[in-house]
């Protein structure tokens, strides 16, 4: 049998490869594309900057998982270091480390795209059958097990206040409710690309090259003519001693909403709309901690099983909407996000098992004052995201802190700690409300995080308003597609994996038809 | 040259120049000097981890060494530009003269009391210079991540990692 996997870091001399289709990135977009295109009979080459780790490697320890499975050791930051960005970098991309939440694209988001960007997903272009196929392929179903205490508090708070909430659909099969999805599933229960489409594509003849960083696409006229790549070292830094050249008939960029624009910027591809690497969205997220008398043990159990959309589509269009969820609680994640130093920080850490944490993800990209960030290249030609936070978003964050504190007290919290460097533990809703109203909403004072990067190569009907068309085909280069979250024209107001699966599935069908 | 590095160098090297010291160049300040990192971490960790480190001096020393090793192991995974910024911060803080510009203290970091060191970190947090704020947040996350990443340090959390295999 032919070798189906190469670890580029083992290459000792320059190499060349050829394929029908080369896919750069093996996450939600690249993973779906690899299987679809391999099934259609194309010779597929799948490239991944991270390593090919499998369940035996997943030891459920943050100190191993963050440097090995995440971009920049899970310490990726926006340019001003005010926003922390969690993004996968391993075979399977973020699907290997995400928290399994699977939500169809909200209809108001699709309506907005239709009105503003001319992309229409109704009638013949309806995504419903693609959602259904992705749900079936990845066993996406409502989580039938009772939520863990961390999620249950979100549910109880919503019930007390009469707020909307929903049981989350998860892409799992045989889940043991461990709670370590973010460090790689140790029992292959999570139906990530790592255990579903990628092995299926390889069984159909696709070749995977891991630990490879694509540096540049070469193009001439309206076509990509080849690409240059290098191996990465043991720290996933690009090396310069070995070069890899790859030629294909069609090129699919699926390196995520920071990686894809960065590669296209390095390649200086045509960009008449000026939108390449711009309008990058994050679902900027704020955090609220709460102490309960009873044990919460937020490290244990499905990390996300309840969400609330009470505030995601506010009546007044001048207000920023936000979705309420909870994160899993593990020592490094908590220690780095809890505020304070010295004894104050140590005392909070000692309450680790009694901490409930709620997060609010802001829906960015739907307002003139929310136009997202810009992917730039640093001196080493590596990406860095500049994301200025507008007053509109700061105001939304303040309201989100208020909602979360109200919810946590309603659910029975003893004390609430908004994760803001000037905030304190507050003893009741009245006290918290007064204090949150006066917190200075400023970069670095207010902790902001993100686990969803979207946009930067947005789709549009008109060449003037985007980088790719509705099928993910580049507006200027005929044999280039972008198949990942970077094609989204705004954020979603929902966790992105299922949207990417369905869009890319549909785009692959169009691509197969046009290539055959 | 990156503008941010320029500002940080500008503050510290400007001070060095005003003292007539020309030995510390911008370029040199970006390079890795493990002794400087060790000196700064040895000074800042006991303050940052005050209340978390064990009372017993020998045990505390073991935990500090483990944390310093974890910092050194983790840093190469960061982007080069961030590694350079951290090298620069360690180098400037380890140098008596440039340290003065960043801390306002003439005494070397290890000579400051724990509460002075904590006060210093809090001054950075509240500084009007976003660079010092970034130094505060960057160090804080790096060092807390390194300490609480070690399963040996989880006793106070009443947390044990699940053993699956």
Q: Are A118 and A461 in contact (CB under 8 A)?
A: yes
| Subunit contact A343:B51, Cβ cutoff 8 A | yes
pLDDT of amino acid B18: 61
- HSE toward the beta carbon, residue A336, CA cutoff 13 A: 23
Residue B33, phi-psi category: left (phi > 0), alpha (psi -120 to 50), beta (remainder): beta
Q: Each residue of A325-356: pLDDT tens digit?
A: 999 999 999 999 999 999 999 999 999 999 99
C-alpha A493/C-alpha A95 separation (Å) is 18
B112 inside 8 A of chain A by CB: no
Site of tokens 């499998």: A54
pLDDT of amino acid A249: 98
pLDDT of amino acid B8: 62
| Subunit contact A62:B140, Cβ cutoff 8 A | no
| Residue in chain A nearest B138 by alpha carbon | A81
* β-bridge partners, A16: A245
Rounded mean pLDDT of B146-159? 95
Q: What is the mean pLDDT of chain B?
A: 86
**ipTM surpasses 0.90:** yes
C-alpha A326/C-alpha A329 separation (Å) is 9
Which of B81, B125, B142 lies nearest to residue A380, judging by beta carbons? B81
| Subunit contact B144:A75, Cβ cutoff 8 A | no
Instruction: Tally Cβ neighbours within 10 Å of residue A213.
Output: 23
Tokens representing A383 are 């990406």
Phi, psi of A142 (to 5 degrees): -60, 140
pLDDT of amino acid B1: 40
Three-state secondary structure readout of chain B: CCHHHHHHHHHHHHHHHHCCCCCCCHHHHCCCCHHHHHHHHHHHHHHHCCCCCCCCHHHHHHHHHHHHHHHHHHHHHCCHHHHHHHHHHHHHHHCHHHHHHHHCCCCCHHHCCHHHHHHHHHHHHCCCCHHHHHHHHHHHHHHHHHHHCCHHHCHHHCCCCCCCC
Give me the sign of the Cα torsion angle A405, A411, A416, A419. Answer: negative
| Residue in chain A nearest B77 by alpha carbon | A235
User: Choosing among B86, B131, B148, which should be mutated to test the A contact, i.e. which has the most A CBs within 10 A?
Assistant: B148
* β-bridge partners, A474: A468
User: Choosing among A75, A188, A383, A449, which should be mutated to test the B contact, i.e. which has the most B CBs within 10 A?
Assistant: A75
CA distance B43 to chain A (A): 13
Chain B contacts of A61, Cβ < 8 Å? 149, 151, 161
| Subunit contact B151:A236, Cβ cutoff 8 A | no
User: Choosing among B75, B89, B120, B133, which should be mutated to test the A contact, i.e. which has the most A CBs within 10 A?
Assistant: B133
Instruction: Tally Cβ neighbours within 10 Å of residue A55.
Output: 16
| Subunit contact B79:A341, Cβ cutoff 8 A | no
Share of chain A above pLDDT 70, in %: 99
pLDDT of amino acid B23: 54
pLDDT of amino acid A89: 98
Q: What's the alpha-carbon Rg for chain A, to the nearest Å?
A: 22
C-alpha A212/C-alpha A44 separation (Å) is 16
Chain A contacts of B141, Cβ < 8 Å? 75, 84, 336
| Subunit contact A378:B2, Cβ cutoff 8 A | yes
Site of tokens 């207000």: A319
Chain A contacts of B116, Cβ < 8 Å? none
Q: Is residue A218 classed as helix, strand or coil in its secondary structure?
A: strand
C-alpha A26/C-alpha A202 separation (Å) is 12
Which of B47, B80, B161 lies nearest to residue A61, judging by beta carbons? B161
Q: Each residue of A137-165: pLDDT tens digit?
A: 999 999 999 999 999 999 999 999 999 99
Chain A contacts of B74, Cβ < 8 Å? 67, 73
CA distance B71 to chain A (A): 11
C-alpha A432/C-alpha A406 separation (Å) is 8
Q: What's the alpha-carbon Rg for chain B, to the nearest Å?
A: 17
B145 inside 8 A of chain A by CB: yes
The helix (run of H) or strand (run of E) holding residue A278 is strand A278-281
Rounded mean pLDDT of B77-86? 95
Give me the sign of the Cα torsion angle B109, B114, B115, B121. Answer: positive
Q: Is residue A369 classed as helix, strand or coil in its secondary structure?
A: coil
| pLDDT tens, chain A, 516 aa long | 466 999 999 999 999 999 999 999 999 999 999 999 999 999 999 999 999 999 999 999 999 999 999 999 999 999 999 999 999 999 999 999 999 999 999 999 999 999 999 999 999 899 999 999 999 999 999 999 999 999 999 999 999 999 999 999 999 999 999 999 999 999 999 999 999 999 999 999 999 999 999 999 999 999 999 999 999 999 999 999 999 999 999 999 999 999 999 999 999 999 999 999 999 999 999 999 999 999 999 999 999 999 999 999 999 989 999 999 999 999 999 999 999 999 999 999 999 999 999 999 999 999 999 999 999 999 999 999 999 999 999 999 999 999 999 999 999 999 999 999 999 999 999 999 999 999 999 999 999 999 999 999 999 999 999 999 999 999 999 999 999 999 999 999 999 999 999 999 999 999 999 998
Q: Is residue A457 classed as helix, strand or coil in its secondary structure?
A: coil
Which stretches of A70-206 are DSSP H helices? 107-117, 128-137, 149-161, 197-203
Q: Are A220 and A207 in contact (CB under 8 A)?
A: no
Chain B contacts of A353, Cβ < 8 Å? 157-159
In angstroms, how far is the first alpha carbon of chain B from the final one? Answer: 49
Determine the Cα angle at A391 with ends A386 and A395, to 5°: 120
pLDDT band at B163 (very low <50, low <70, confident <90, very high): confident
Which of B50, B77, B125 lies nearest to residue A72, judging by beta carbons? B77
Q: Is residue A510 classed as helix, strand or coil in its secondary structure?
A: helix
A196 DSSP assignment: T
| Subunit contact A346:B142, Cβ cutoff 8 A | no
B70 inside 8 A of chain A by CB: yes
Three-state secondary structure readout of A332-368: HHHHHHCCCCHHHHHHHHHCHHHEEEEEEEECCCCEC
Q: Are B86 and B71 in contact (CB under 8 A)?
A: no
| Residue in chain A nearest B135 by alpha carbon | A81
pLDDT of amino acid B128: 84
B6 has pLDDT over 70: no
| Residue in chain B nearest A59 by alpha carbon | B164
């Amino acid at each position: 049998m032919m070798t189906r996997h190469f670890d580029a870091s083992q290459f000792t001399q320059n190499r060349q490869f050829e394929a029908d289709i080369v896919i750069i990135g093996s996450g939600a977009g690249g993973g779906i594309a690899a299987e679809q295109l391999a099934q259609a009979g194309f010779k597929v080459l799948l490239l991944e900057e991270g390593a090919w780790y499998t369940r035996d490697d997943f030891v459920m320890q943050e100190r191993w998982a963050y440097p090995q499975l995440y971009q920049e050791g899970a310490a990726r930051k926006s340019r001003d270091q005010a926003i922390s960005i969690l993004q996968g970098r391993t075979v399977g991309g973020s699907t290997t480390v995400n928290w399994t939440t699977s939500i169809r694209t909200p209809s108001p988001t699709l309506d907005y795209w239709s009105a503003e960007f001319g992309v229409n997903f109704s009638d013949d272009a309806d995504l419903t059958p693609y959602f259904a196929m992705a749900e079936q392929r990845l066993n996406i179903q409502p989580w039938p097990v009772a939520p863990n205490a961390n999620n249950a508090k979100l549910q109880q708070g919503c019930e007390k206040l009469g707020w909307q909430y929903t049981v989350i659909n998860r892409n799992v099969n045989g889940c043991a409710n461990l709670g370590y999805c973010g460090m790689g599933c140790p029992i292959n229960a999570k139906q990530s690309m790592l255990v579903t489409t990628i092995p299926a594509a390889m069984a159909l003849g696709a070749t995977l090259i891991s630990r490879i960083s694509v540096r540049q696409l070469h193009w001439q006229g309206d076509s990509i003519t080849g690409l240059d790549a290098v191996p990465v070292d043991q720290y996933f830094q690009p090396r310069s001693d070995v070069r890899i050249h790859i030629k294909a008939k069609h090129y699919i960029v699926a390196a995520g909403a920071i990686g894809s624009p960065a590669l296209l910027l390095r390649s200086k591809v045509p960009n008449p709309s000026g939108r390449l690497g711009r309008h990058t969205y994050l679902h900027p997220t704020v955090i609220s901690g709460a102490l309960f008398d009873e044990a919460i043990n937020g490290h244990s159990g499905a990390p996300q099983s309840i969400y609330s959309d009470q505030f995601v589509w506010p009546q007044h269009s001048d207000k920023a909407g936000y979705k309420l969820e909870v994160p899993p609680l593990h020592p490094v994640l908590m220690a780095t996000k809890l505020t304070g130093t010295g004894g104050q920080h140590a005392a909070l850490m000692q309450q680790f098992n009694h901490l409930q944490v709620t997060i609010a993800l802001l829906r960015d990209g739907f307002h003139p004052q929310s136009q997202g960030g810009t992917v730039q290249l640093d001196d080493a030609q590596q990406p860095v995201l500049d994301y200025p936070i507008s007053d509109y978003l700061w105001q939304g964050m303040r309201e989100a802190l208020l909602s979360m504190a109200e919810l946590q007290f309603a659910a029975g919290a003893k004390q609430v700690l908004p994760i803001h460097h000037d905030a304190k533990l507050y003893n009741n809703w009245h006290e918290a409300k007064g204090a949150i109203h006066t917190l200075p909403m400023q970069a670095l004072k207010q902790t902001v995080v993100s686990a969803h990067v979207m946009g930067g190569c947005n789709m549009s009907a008109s060449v003037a308003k985007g980088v790719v068309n509705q099928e993910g085909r580049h507006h200027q280069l005929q044999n280039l597609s972008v198949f990942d979250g970077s094609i989204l024209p705004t954020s979603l107001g929902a966790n992105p994996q299922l949207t990417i699966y369905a869009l890319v599935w549909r785009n692959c069908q169009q691509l197969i038809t046009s290539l055959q | 040259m990156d503008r941010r590095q320029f500002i940080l160098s500008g503050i510290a090297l400007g001070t060095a120049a005003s003292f007539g010291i020309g030995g510390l160049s911008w370029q040199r300040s970006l390079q890795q000097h493990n002794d400087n990192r060790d000196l700064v971490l040895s000074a800042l960790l006991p303050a940052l981890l005050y209340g978390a480190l064990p009372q017993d001096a020998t045990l505390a020393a073991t935990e500090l060494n483990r944390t310093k090793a974890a910092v050194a192991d983790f840093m190469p995974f960061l982007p080069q530009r961030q590694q350079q910024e951290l090298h620069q911060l360690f180098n400037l803080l380890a140098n008596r003269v440039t340290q003065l510009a960043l801390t306002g203290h003439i005494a070397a970091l290890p000579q400051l009391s724990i509460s002075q060191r904590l006060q210093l970190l809090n001054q950075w947090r509240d500084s009007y210079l976003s660079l010092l704020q970034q130094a505060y947040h960057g160090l804080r996350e790096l060092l807390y991540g390194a300490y609480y990443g070690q399963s040996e340090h989880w006793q106070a959390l009443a947390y044990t990692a699940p053993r699956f295999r």
